Structure 1
Amino acid sequence: MRLVRQNYSNGVIGGSFSRVRGTARPAPTRPRTNNRPTRPARTAITLLTVTALAAGCGETPSTTPKPAAGQQLLKAPPARAMDTYATKLRQEQRARATAAKRWGLSEPPLPAPPAPEQKPRISTRKGFEVDDHEGLPPVFTTIPTKDKVVFLTIDDGAEKDPAFLRMMSELKIPYTAFLSDYLIKEDYGYFRKMQDRGVVLNNHTLNHRYMPNLSYERQKREICGMQDVIEKRYGKRPTLFRPPFGNYNEDTLRAARACGIKAAPLWNEEVFVDRWDYRELDRDLHPGDIVLSHFRGREHWKGTMPDMVRRFLKLVTDKGYAVARIEDYL
């Protein structure tokens, strides 16, 4: 059985009638006894009919009709909608630039692309499988995508910095939280504010134990117990679970599945206040990488959570990446 051991710190009608056969004959001197139009009149009607049909089939007339006096040509609704959308984008970019300056960033974060209509197929990363992985939640460190995005995930819940909430809200940076009850229970309200800002709260067990050392039943209590806490306090049972320290075995994933977990995302990079740690040998970001950080402050770090966010955003933005919601891709 393989175990993953990861240190927590570490997109003119073409001449069709240019020539009319025959010539118009002079009108007869005797009056007509029926209502049929004259030949020139029939010819004119024919020409008008052909022109109308051509226009209806999508051909472009040689001149653009002008509105009559006192009338105006209406703009197409899609054009107005695009103008509105462009205006909204400009406003958001200005607001983001202002917020970036206020929070000490040299460049504003890049906006994430729209969420994909078709979600990527998620599978367990090679080498991260347990002996009998079929039907168990996939374990992965990167989400397959061509979008130049990364996903920020933050674990445990020890630090409860109000400045961090304001910073992420003003910069509109999405992230996902993986919470442990023994750390958040002293202030459930802090994470309710986080949820109100659109952050999804996920499962990191009740007590942050090293899961492979526990029996199946104890692992299930740790995971299902945290499911119950999040549902009771925040109204919804999570579908994502991250094992403490990134360590798990087959029992961990079986217990997670039994508790309603659909996937177990790990991480490909970890960011601290003073450095980045990498899983890959190239020590670089890749499209779809999951980045780990923690709820930590000066007690554990050489700085604050906003300091960590500044380091995170500087590298991500310098390399041309945006930060996206991991839930949009799962």
Structure 2
Amino acid sequence: MIGWPFSPSGALALGAPQARTVSGLVSAYADRLDRAEQVRTRAVGSWKLSKAPLRAPAPPRKKPELATERGHITGKGLPPVITQVPTEDKVVFLTIDDGAEKDPELLRMMRELDIPYSSFLTDYVSRDDYGYFRTMREEGARIQNHSVTHKEMPRLSLAEQRKEICDQQDTLEKEIGERPTMFRPPYGAYNRDTLKAAAECGVEVVPLWTAEAFADRMEWGRGDGKLHPGDIILTHFRGKGQWGGSMTDMVRLVVRTATEQGYAIGRLEDYV
């Protein structure tokens, strides 16, 4: 768990005592890691897990080259559409869409268990509390684009799609402080105009998914019901009123599933 004298980004906080030697810096970093691991170990039981989530391997020094997967639209100048990251690492990626449910317990769970994840936000359900997502970003999550109003992209003109994507790029840059590099179309529905608009708005990749997580079950895009290296897992910001469980129930299920199958949860942006 990161705390004073470390800032949310992991750097030494302003006003913290400074280590005066390289060995002092190394010692301070080691102490921080040790404290974080102690918190994580204690959190396993409090979040009703039998095992700690596996630690993701170090990110690749060079990110894998991405290409649009078979069966998806491709073309010169269009961002690649993927459902899986090309890697041999036993790592999968958790992504959470829309922003409707803003459960503080989700933030606490992800912080204490040190689970990386990415959030794809839709403005009309996120705008009532962007502060929640700023906290999320400060604690290490990444924020990406899921449109302004969550409309089905192929039903819109090119100009309308461009507005849905570009306006949300601008909003997230203003609210979160970082311009997204990824766009996930609502419902996974897109056409060539979607990709053209996304490219014009500065989007570099369009990640879809291979599995979807709910509070009580996993739904699989493949028939084997198993995770594979580089799989992207989709879920949503939902509460008990929508799916009969909490966000923390969903995370618990994802962690158990990944851990039992020998997979760590990594940060999508470390590979893409």
TM-score by length of 1: 0.72
Which letter maps to 2:38?
A: R
1:150 and 2:109 aligned: no
User: Do the aligned residues in 2 keep the contact of 1:96 with 1:109 (CA within 8 Å)?
Assistant: no
1:110 and 2:54 aligned: yes
What is the root-mean-square deviation of aligned Cα atoms in Å?
Answer: 2.0
1:257-313 CA-partner distances (Å, limit 9, x unpaired): 000000000110000001111111222100110000000001101110001011110
Partner of 1:23: none
**Which has the larger Rg?**
1
1:246 and 2:191 aligned: no
1:269 and 2:269 aligned: no
Task: State how 1:130-209 maps to structure 2 within 5 Å.
Answer: 130=74, 133-209=75-151
User: Do the aligned residues in 2 keep the contact of 1:242 with 1:266 (CA within 8 Å)?
Assistant: yes
Partner of 2:20: none
Which letter maps to 1:109?
A: P
Partner of 1:124: 68
Q: List, as ranges, runs of 4+ consecutive aligned residues in structure 1 with deviation greater than 4 Å.
A: 79-92
Distance in structure 2 (CA, Å) of the matches to 1:84 and 1:193 = 25
1:56-101 CA-partner distances (Å, limit 9, x unpaired): xxxxxxxxxxxxxxxxxxxxxxx99999988776654433221111
Distance in structure 2 (CA, Å) of the matches to 1:320 and 1:106 = 14
Which letter maps to 2:206?
A: A
For 2:164, which of 219, 222, 229 is the aligned residue? 222
Distance in structure 1 (CA, Å) of the matches to 2:67 and 2:116 = 23
1:289 and 2:226 aligned: no
Task: State how 1:57-136 maps to structure 2 within 5 Å.
Answer: 92-130=36-74, 133-136=75-78
Cα shift at 1:165? 0.5
Partner of 1:319: 261
TM-score by length of 2: 0.87
Q: Structure 2: where are the runs of 5+ without partners?
A: 1-22
Distance in structure 2 (CA, Å) of the matches to 1:179 and 1:164 = 16
User: Do the aligned residues in 2 keep the contact of 1:142 with 1:288 (CA within 8 Å)?
Assistant: yes
User: Do the aligned residues in 2 keep the contact of 1:178 with 1:201 (CA within 8 Å)?
Assistant: yes
Q: How many residues align?
A: 251
Cα shift at 1:135? 1.9
User: Do the aligned residues in 2 keep the contact of 1:211 with 1:248 (CA within 8 Å)?
Assistant: yes
SS of 1:188's partner is helix
